[in-house]
Structure 1
Amino acid sequence: NLSTDIGGRLRLPPELFWRMKARKGWKIDNDWALNAQQRFYYYHTEGWGARSWVGLNRSLGNRWHYYNSSELEWIHSDREFVGAHVHSVQKRLNTRSVITPRIGVLGESQPTWRTTSYFTDITWRYRVYDDWLFAELIPALEYRRDDGFDDQASIVFRIEMYFAGTIDRE
C-alpha cells in the first residue's frame, strides 16, 4: 500500500509538509499480526527525513488489543537517528471513544547510541463529530536524561480535524 499526501498544520509557525508512505501487514497466525511501514517526508521547518516502523499486535479479548512497536527515524537536519520502543494496550470503550495506556523508551544515535527518556501515558480519544473531528486528553509522565531521569508530569489536550481522505485511526 503506497500513499502520498501534502498538507499543513495550523500552529506557529505554520507547518507545510509532504509525505510518502509505504506499508504492509501480515497475519502471522490466528492471534498475531505483523505490520511494517516506511515513510519519507519533508516538513518546511524541519527538512527531510525518513521513518521506519515495525509492530506486532493481537487481540486480548473484551475489546482490548495489545501493540508492541519499534521505530527508527533519520533526522537529516540533525544528522542523527531517533528511536522508540513502545508497548501499549487499547480498549474501545464505545462507538465514540478509545483509551490507550502506553509505556516506552526513546533514544538517539548522537553523540553515541543512548537512551534519552522513558515515558508512560494514557490517551483518551473521543470522536466529537462524524469521522472528521476528534479530541484527545493525554496525562503523561516522562523521565528525561537531560533532567537526570527525574519525573516530569504533563497533560495534553488536542483537537484533530480531518478535511479530506479517509482515516484509519481509532
Structure 2
Amino acid sequence: MHKTVSESVLDTAQWFDNFFANKNVQEDQKALGEVRLRLGWIPRSRELEEIEARLKVRVKLPNLKNRVDLILTDSDDDQEDKIRSSRRSQFNRDDSFNVALRYKARPDSGLSHRIGFGRRFQYYARSRYRDGFTLTDSLEMRYDASIYYYNRDKFGATLSFTFDYDFSQELLLRYHNRFDYRDRSKDWIWQHSWQGLHQFDDTSAVIYGFYIEGISQPNYRLEEYLVSAKLRKQTKRNWLFYEIEPFVLWRRDEHFSASYGIALRLEGYFGER
C-alpha cells in the first residue's frame, strides 16, 4: 500500500513539473513529492469526541530550478510544534487549508515568497525570512519574520525566535516565542513554550512541554496554558509513527478549570523528499 501511494505521489509531482519543461534544456533531476498524513483522537474532559486529521503535500519542481515548491496543507506550517489538537480558538481555525506556490531565489535561501489561497479561501501573498546562528558550542538561535496580506483579513506580521540548548547527547532544551499581529482585529497573539526533547534511540523520543498563549486585546492577558508529555515512536515500518500524549489544559473560556486528556495519533509519510 505504501509503495503504491508513494509511486502515485511521485508520478503526480512529475506530471505537474512537466508543465514547466523546456525542450531545449535537459534536466537530470526528477520531481519529488511528499505527503504527510496524521490522524488522531484527542479526548479530554468536557470534550471527548475531538478528531484530528492533518495533511501536508509538498512538490519540488526541478524544471523551475528547484526555486518553486507547490505546498498544500490543512494547517499553517508555522505552527508545527504547537499543541494544536487541544485548541479551538478562532485564530487556529482561520489558518486551516492552504494551497500555495513558494518561490526562493536560491534553493538554500532564507528568504521566500508565497502566493496562494488560505484562511477560508482568501487569496494572499507572504514574504518570510528565516535564519539562525550558533551562539556557543551548545546553544543555537533561530529566528523567523514574515509579513502577509489576505484580501479580507488585510495585513499581518509574524515574528518568532527559538533557542536550542544541547544539554547532553540525548537531551535538547528548547525555548520558543512567537508573536502574531492581525490587522483585521487590530491585536496580536503571543505564544511561549518550554520543551525538553529526550531521545531514547533512533526510533523513539519523548517531548516534555509547557505552553502558554495570550492576546493583547481587550487587554494583555493569558488565554490558556498547557502541560504535556508526548511519546513519539517509529513502528517497524520506517514511514509510520505513532504518538501518545497525555496533557492537562487550562483555558480562560473554561474558567481555567483543569481539563485532562490524551492524544493518540498515527502519522505516515508517502513519496520522496
Alignment pair present for 1:113 and 2:178: no
Identity value in percent: 20
Which residue of structure 1 aligns with residue 256 of structure 2? 149
Q: CA 1:41/1:95 → structure 2, altered by over 3 Å: closer, same or farther?
A: farther
Within 1, Cα distance between the matches of 2:138 and 2:192?
21
State whether structure 2 residue 111 is matched by structure 1 residue 29. no
How many angstroms does 1:27 deviate by?
Answer: 0.5
Larger relative helix fraction: 2
Cα–Cα, structure 1 residues 156 and 39, in superposed 2: closer, same or farther, change >3 Å? farther
Residue 67 in structure 1 maps to residue 149 in structure 2: no
Structure 1's unaligned 5+ residue stretches are: none
Q: 1:6 aligns with which of 71, 87, 103?
A: 71
Identify the residue that residue 85 of structure 1 maps to in structure 2: 192
Q: Which has the higher contact order (CA 8 A, sep 6+)?
A: 2
Deviation at 1:101, TM superposition (A): 0.4
Letter in 1 for 2:214: G
Q: TM-score, normalised by structure 1?
A: 0.76
Say which of 111, 125, 128 aligns to 2:232: 125
- Structure 2 residue runs of 5 or longer lacking an equivalent are 1-66, 76-95, 103-113, 115-127
Residue equivalent to 1:17:
99
Larger radius of gyration: 2
Task: Compute the displacement of 1:91 (Å).
Answer: 0.6
Name the Cα RMSD after superposition: 3.1
Shift of 1:51: 3.3
- Measure, in 2, the Cα distance between the counterparts of 1:93 and 1:157: 20
Report the CA distance between 1:79 and its aligned residue: 4.7
In structure 2, give the amino acid aligned to 1:110.
Answer: Q
Question: Taking structure 2 as the reference length, what is the TM-score of the superposition?
Answer: 0.50
Count residues with an aligned counterpart: 159
Report the CA distance between 1:62 and its aligned residue.
4.5
1:94 CA displacement? 1.1
CA distance in 2, matches of 1:22, 1:137: 33
* 8 Å contact from structure 1 (residues 40, 50) kept in 2: yes
